[in-house]
C-alpha cells in the first residue's frame, strides 16, 4: 500500500472493546486520516451474535460468521483480534492472519503471554506486524513508551499496578476498614469485578501483563510460567490498618528486574511507602513505573480497562500501521529474544512485614526472635498490642533486607509453635 490508500481493517469481537473501537474509528474519520496520513476504514466485522444490540451501527460492514474469514479476506489489511483467550479461535485467527501477511492488532494479553514468541516470529517471517498496546494497562501507552520513548535507555526495573479490580478492592478496604470478601461482593454488584473474579483477584490477569512488560523491557521471550504469582485474597483489613501505622500502602504489584540470579518476575501484594508515587494510585486506575538509566524513574498512570481507554490503544496501533511504523513485536528482532535465566523466588532479597496471632504468654516473643536470629533475619520494627494474658493477640514486625529462603524457613519454624494460633502472614515490602 502507498499514497493515500485506506488502511482496511477487519475486527473480530464486538464486545466492550470492539464496540468502543468501532465507535472511535467512526467518530472522527477525517481527524484520524490527518494524523495517520491516510484513511482508516472498517471493511469487515465478526462476532458471535450478528443481531445483538451494541449501540453501534455495523450494517455497512461486511459480516463474517467465521472470524477466520478475516485472515483470508482480500479487502482486509489489518485484523483486530478482540475475541480473547489464550488459545482457540483467537490463536488460530492471529496465526492465519500473520501467515497471510496481514498485520494484527490485539488486546489479548493471555494470548501473547503464552504464545508471544511464536507469533512474533510468524509476523516477521511474513512481513507483518503484531501490535498490542491495548493488551497492557488499557489506555496507558506503556508499550510505546518502552519500545520507542525509552529505546535508548537501559531498563533496570519495571513495576506496576496492573489490575484495576484489585486496586479498587484494596482502596475501598483501606478507606472503609472492611474485609476482602465484603468489598469483593460490592465490586461485583457495581460491575468492577466479574461473577467469577479469580482471574483478577488471584493475579492471573496482572501476571499476563507483567510477562509482556518484562519481555519488552529486557529483550526476552514472554515467560508467564516463570512468574511468581500471589493474589489478594489473603490481605486482611488488619494488615491494611497495620500498614498505615507503619507508613505503607498495600498494592497488588507486578515487578520485573534483572538480578545476578537471573530475571526476577513476581506479582503479589506489596507494601509501598506512602510517599511513593505508586502508593497514591487509587480505585480502578493502573500505573506502571520504569526505572532506567539515564532517565531515572518514569511513571505512567491512567485507566487500565474499559471500552474507551482500551479502544484508544487499539486505534493508536492502527494509526501507527497506517503511518508505516513497523516495530518488532517485543522491541527487538524475534531471533534475538533472550531466554533469560529465571531467578527463583527463594533468592529474592528484600524486607518483609510479618503478622503473627499468638497466645499472650511470657517468652513467646523471645522464641520468635530466636528463630529469626538463627535464620539471620534482623527485626526493624515491632508492634505489640496491649497485654491480654493467655488470650490471642497480634504481633507485627518488619525486617531488614534478607533472603526470602531465610524468611520462609523462619516462618515455617515459628508456625510450628503451639503458641502461634494461625499460619504466619507475610507481605513483601518494596524498596523506596
| pTM for the model | 0.94
Q: What is the pLDDT of residues 112-167, one digit of tens each?
A: 999 999 999 999 999 999 999 999 988 899 999 999 999 999 999 999 999 999 99
Q: Is the pLDDT of residue 414 over 80?
A: yes
pLDDT of residue 421: 94
**Quick check: 369 pLDDT over 90?**
yes
Q: Look at residue 3 and tell me whether its pLDDT is greater than 60.
A: no
Cell 461486511, located at residue: 62
pLDDT tens digits, 37-57: 999 999 999 999 888 888 888
Write out pLDDT tens, residues 162-213. Answer: 999 999 999 999 999 999 999 999 999 988 888 899 999 999 999 999 999 9
Which residues are designated catalytic?
Answer: 209
Task: List Cβ neighbours of 30 (8 Å cut-off, separation of 6 or more).
Answer: none
Domains and CATH numbers, the chain: 7-138+312-335 (3.40.50.720), 142-303 (3.30.360.10), 348-429 (3.30.70.260)
Amino acid at each position: 500500500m502507498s499514497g493515500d490508500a485506506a488502511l482496511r481493517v477487519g475486527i473480530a469481537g464486538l464486545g466492550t472493546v470492539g464496540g468502543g473501537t468501532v465507535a472511535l474509528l467512526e467518530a472522527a474519520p477525517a481527524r484520524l486520516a490527518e494524523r495517520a496520513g491516510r484513511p482508516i476504514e472498517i471493511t469487515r466485522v465478526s462476532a458471535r451474535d450478528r443481531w445483538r444490540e451494541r449501540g453501534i451501527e455495523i450494517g455497512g460492514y461486511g459480516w463474517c460468521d467465521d472470524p477466520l474469514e478475516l485472515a483470508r479476506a482480500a479487502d482486509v489489511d489489518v485484523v483486530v483480534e478482540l475475541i480473547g483467550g489464550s488459545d482457540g479461535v483467537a490463536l488460530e485467527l492471529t496465526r492465519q492472519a500473520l501467515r497471510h501477511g496481514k498485520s494484527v492488532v490485539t488486546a489479548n494479553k493471555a494470548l501473547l503471554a503464552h504464545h508471544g514468541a511464536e507469533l512474533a516470529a510468524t509476523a516477521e517471517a511474513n512481513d507483518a506486524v503484531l501490535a498490542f498496546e491495548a493488551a497492557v494497562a488499557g489506555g496507558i501507552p506503556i508499550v510505546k513508551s518502552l519500545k520507542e520513548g525509552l529505546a535508548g535507555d537501559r531498563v533496570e526495573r519495571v513495576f506496576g499496578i496492573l489490575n484495576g479490580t484489585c486496586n479498587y478492592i484494596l482502596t475501598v478496604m483501606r478507606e472503609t476498614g472492611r474485609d476482602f470478601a465484603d468489598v469483593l461482593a460490592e465490586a461485583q454488584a457495581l460491575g468492577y469485578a466479574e461473577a467469577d473474579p479469580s482471574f483478577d483477584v488471584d493475579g492471573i490477569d496482572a501476571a499476563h501483563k507483567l510477562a509482556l512488560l518484562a519481555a519488552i523491557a529486557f529483550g526476552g521471550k514472554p515467560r508467564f510460567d516463570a512468574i511468581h504469582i500471589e493474589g489478594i485474597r489473603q490481605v486482611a483489613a488488619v494488615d491494611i490498618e497495620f500498614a498505615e501505622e507503619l507508613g505503607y500502602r498495600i498494592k497488588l504489584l507486578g515487578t520485573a528486574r534483572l538480578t545476578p540470579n537471573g530475571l526476577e518476575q513476581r506479582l503479589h501484594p506489596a507494601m509501598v511507602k506512602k510517599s511513593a508515587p505508586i502508593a497514591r494510585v487509587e480505585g480502578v486506575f493502573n500505573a506502571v513505573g520504569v526505572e532506567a538509566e539515564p532517565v531515572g524513574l518514569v511513571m505512567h498512570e491512567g485507566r487500565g480497562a474499559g471500552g474507551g481507554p482500551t479502544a484508544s490503544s487499539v486505534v493508536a496501533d492502527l494509526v501507527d500501521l497506517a503511518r508505516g511504523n513497523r516495530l518488532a513485536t517485543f522491541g527487538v528482532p524475534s531471533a534475538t529474544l533472550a531466554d533469560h535465566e529465571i531467578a527463583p523466588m527463594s533468592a529474592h532479597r528484600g524486607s518483609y512485614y510479618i503478622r503473627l496471632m499468638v497466645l499472650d504468654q511470657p517468652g513467646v516473643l523471645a522464641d520468635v526472635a530466636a528463630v529469626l536470629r538463627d535464620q539471620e533475619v534482623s527485626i526493624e520494627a515491632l508492634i505489640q498490642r496491649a497485654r491480654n494474658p493467655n488470650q490471642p493477640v497480634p504481633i507485627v514486625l518488619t525486617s531488614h533486607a534478607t533472603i526470602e529462603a531465610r524468611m520462609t524457613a523462619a516462618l515455617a519454624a515459628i508456625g510450628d509453635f503451639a503458641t502461634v494460633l494461625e499460619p504466619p502472614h507475610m507481605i513483601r515490602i518494596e524498596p523506596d
